[in-house]
Amino acid sequence: MATKKNIPVVEWEYAPSLEGTSHIQLKKQYDLFIDGKWVKPSSGKYFQTINPANEEVLSEVAYGNEKDVDLAVKAARKAYTEVWSVMPAAERAKYIYRIARLMQERARELAVIETLDAGKTIRESRDIDVPLACNHFFYYAGWADKLEYAFPNRKVESIGVAGQIIPWNFPLLMAAWKIAPALAAGNTVVLKPAETTPLTALKLAEIIEASGLPAGVVNIVTGFGDTGAAIVNHTDVDKIAFTGSTNVGKMIQKAVAGTGKKLTLELGGKSANIIFDDAPIDQAVEGIINGIFFNQGHVCCAGSRLFVQENVADKVIAKLKDRLNSLYLGNPLDKNTDIGAINSKEQLETINKYIKIGKQEGAEMYQPSCSIPKKGFYCPPTLFTNVAQSNVIAQEEIFGPVLTIQTFRTVDEVIQKANNTPFGLAAGVWTDKGSRIFNLTTKLRAGVIWANTYNKFDPTSPFGGYKESGFGREGGLHGLSSYVKLV
């Protein structure tokens, strides 16, 4: 047996390792990108976008209104009928490839700006968001001249002008998810980024401008909810694609009712992550961590409801708590930061509201001891044990780094509990037993099932939900059908 000697423990801390910001180019003020030109908003109004990590103003961005949206839709319509829909598909593909390459060339700048504007860690922007965004363009570019293979026995046509509204959690990646398939299928685009994270979409506009893409094929109109509503309600828009909250999604579905507009919705979730006793336990713990704390929990498919088989619950929870203490929370620009800033003050308030509710409901809270920066919006990673299915924190989407933990005894019980939600976006299953995985992946009512992994994304892999998590798929072959008309 090893004899334990009294050896003084020397702490080894990581010195700050900040990603440089000197190479990025941010203008003081951004206009709207309409018809290939930078256009002042007709209202003359601009709004500030700040860095949620320190509350400093990054830039001012145009506040587009109905008039601006109308201009953008007109430009998109013109580009659609005169250029984009009549261009040989192979040429269309080459434009999209070109955008992908230009994005790759400016990947570092995009990553830094994403981190500044969204508060997400530079590790994630650099290693996940930006490469995936580039790859998405790369993937769909190749589809442009192969559409007839995707839909056997049907004639494929483009739809027309697509209005696209994207959220603040993956600003550039969501822009790519929307724009790439739309362009590949021959549509033109009016896109509205989220008001707290407009910068990378505007940088993408610069890239699109530099790529020589015909004017009006992609238009970026920044603004708030009313700007988005103007896009949804515009009579000359043929297709609406929305990613965001279920509440707003429902408003859009209602507004589109009876108009004949095509619609895809990628909405909220409250996804179950299920750990069986025979799981690769340490990888499962990592999967739980990645499932809920990736991007500060601002992930629609976050594994926010953890179900642990009762006979390993103590072990898993102990390991989880232990692991929380090795996560670094702080400046998102630091390459060693694991948990960055909450996207906005409003979102932080929402998260704190739910944490309060959780405590009031009698759930037991655990947060690691970590120092929170004085400025900026931060929330420590949070676990709730002793949670019941009927607790609000186990039912509503929190969209933050808050995990609820419930235990279960049998397979049937956990399937029922996992499906017992209006949402159906994703689920995780951890077990070493293949036949059980196939049983669960069949019975869980969700659009993405991660077995022995979690929060993986790929341009070739369709993503989207069941039930109130929305409809339509993004990514892969199935993502194409959201942007084509089949006759």
Partner 1 sequence: MKKNQDKKNRFQLEYLNSPAVDKVGVEERVARFQTRSIKDASKMQGLKMALNMIDLTTLEGKDTHGKVKQMCYKAQHLHDVLPGLPSVAAVCVYPSMVKIAKKEVAGSGVNVASVSTAFPSGQAPLEVKITDTKFAVDEGADEIDMVISRGKFLSGEYNYVFDEIAMIKEACGKARLKVILETGELATLDNVRKASDLAIYAGADFIKTSTGKIQPAATMQVTYTMLMAIKDYYDKTGIMIGMKPAGGISTSKLALHNLVMVKEVLGSAWLTNEWFRFGASSLANDVLMQIMKAETGVYQSSDYFSID
Partner 2 sequence: MERLEVLKTYKIYIGGQFPRTESGRYYMPVNKAGKALGNICLSSRKDVRNAVSAARKAFGGWSERTAFNRGQILYRIAEMLEGRRSQFIEELILQGSTKKAAEEEVNLAIDRIVYYAGWCDKYQAIVSSVNPVASSHFNFSVAEPMGVVGVVAPENSSLIGLVSLVLPAICGGNTVVVLAAEHLPLCAVTFAEVVNSSDVPGGVINILTGSNKEMNPTLSTHMDVNALVYGGNDSAALKELQENAVLNVKRVFAYSNNWAKADAQGLHFVSDLQEIKTTWHPIENIGGATSSY
First to last CA, the chain: 76
Q: In what order do the strands lie in the sheet with 262-266?
A: 37-39, 32-34, 218-220, 188-192, 161-165, 239-243, 262-266, 470-471
Interaction of residue 84 with partner 2, rule CB under 8 A: no
Distance in Å, CB of 249 to partner 1, minimum: 32
Residue 423 CB burial class (10 angstroms; 0-12, 13-18, ≥19): buried
E strands, 104-209, are 156-158, 161-165, 188-192
**Structure tokens that stand for 60 in this block:** 């001012």
Question: Catalytic one among 300, 379, 397, 468?
Answer: 300
The residue behind tokens 């992994």 is 453
The distance of Cα 242 from the centroid of its chain, to the nearest Å, equals: 12
- Note the residues at the interface with partner 1 (CB under 8 A): 1-2, 4-5, 7, 9-17, 123, 127, 278-283, 286-287, 290, 318, 322, 326, 335-336, 432, 452-453
The distance of Cα 326 from the centroid of its chain, to the nearest Å, equals: 25
Q: Which does 411 bind (CB under 5 to 8 A by kind): partner 2, partner 1, none?
A: none
Q: Which does 256 bind (CB under 5 to 8 A by kind): partner 1, partner 2, none?
A: partner 2
Q: Which does 420 bind (CB under 5 to 8 A by kind): partner 1, partner 2, none?
A: none
Alpha carbon distance 49, 254 (integer Å): 30
The nearer residue to partner 1, 209 or 277, going by C-beta atoms, is 277
The nearer residue to partner 1, 228 or 380, going by C-beta atoms, is 380
Question: Catalytic one among 19, 114, 266, 474?
Answer: 266
SS3 state of residue 292: helix
Alpha carbon distance 146, 166 (integer Å): 27
Distance in Å, CB of 387 to partner 1, minimum: 24
The pair phi, psi for residue 241, each rounded to 5°, is: -125, 125
E strands, 285-354, are 305-309
Is 266 among the catalytic positions?
A: yes
Interaction of residue 152 with partner 2, rule CB under 8 A: yes
The nearer residue to partner 1, 16 or 212, going by C-beta atoms, is 16
The nearer residue to partner 2, 20 or 434, going by C-beta atoms, is 434
SS3 state of residue 379: coil
364: part of which helix (H) or strand (E)? strand 364-366
Work out which of 215, 370, 392, 437 binds partner 2, going by CB under 8 A. Answer: 437
The residue behind tokens 């530099």 is 210
Alpha carbon distance 430, 418 (integer Å): 14
Interface of this chain with partner 2, residues 254 to 283, rule: CB under 8 A: 254, 256-258, 265, 267
Taking a C-beta distance cutoff of 8 angstroms, is the pair 44, 62 a contact? no
Interface of this chain with partner 2, residues 105 to 144, rule: CB under 8 A: 135
Distance in Å, CB of 266 to partner 2, minimum: 11
Distance in Å, CB of 180 to partner 2, minimum: 16
The residue behind tokens 């951890």 is 430
DSSP per residue, 218-261: EEE----HHHHHHHHH-TT--EEEEES-HHHHHHHHHHHTTS--
Interaction of residue 235 with partner 2, rule CB under 8 A: no
356: part of which helix (H) or strand (E)? helix 345-360
Alpha carbon distance 121, 427 (integer Å): 24
Q: Which does 326 bind (CB under 5 to 8 A by kind): partner 2, partner 1, none?
A: partner 1
Interface of this chain with partner 2, residues 374 to 393, rule: CB under 8 A: none
Interaction of residue 486 with partner 2, rule CB under 8 A: yes
Q: Which does 336 bind (CB under 5 to 8 A by kind): partner 1, partner 2, none?
A: partner 1
Interaction of residue 447 with partner 2, rule CB under 8 A: yes
Alpha carbon distance 265, 251 (integer Å): 11
The residue among 76, 153, 164, 168 whose CA lies nearest residue 120 is 168
Q: Which does 471 bind (CB under 5 to 8 A by kind): partner 2, partner 1, none?
A: partner 2
Distance in Å, CB of 38 to partner 2, minimum: 35
Work out which of 94, 108, 250, 417 binds partner 2, going by CB under 8 A. Answer: 250
**Structure tokens that stand for 403 in this block:** 């995990």
Is 300 among the catalytic positions?
A: yes
Q: Which does 254 bind (CB under 5 to 8 A by kind): partner 2, partner 1, none?
A: partner 2
Q: Which does 318 bind (CB under 5 to 8 A by kind): partner 2, partner 1, none?
A: partner 1
Residues assigned a catalytic role: 266, 300
Interacting residues with partner 2 (CB under 8 A): 135, 152-154, 246, 249-250, 253-254, 256-258, 265, 267, 422, 437, 441-442, 445-453, 456, 458, 460-464, 466-471, 473, 476-478, 486
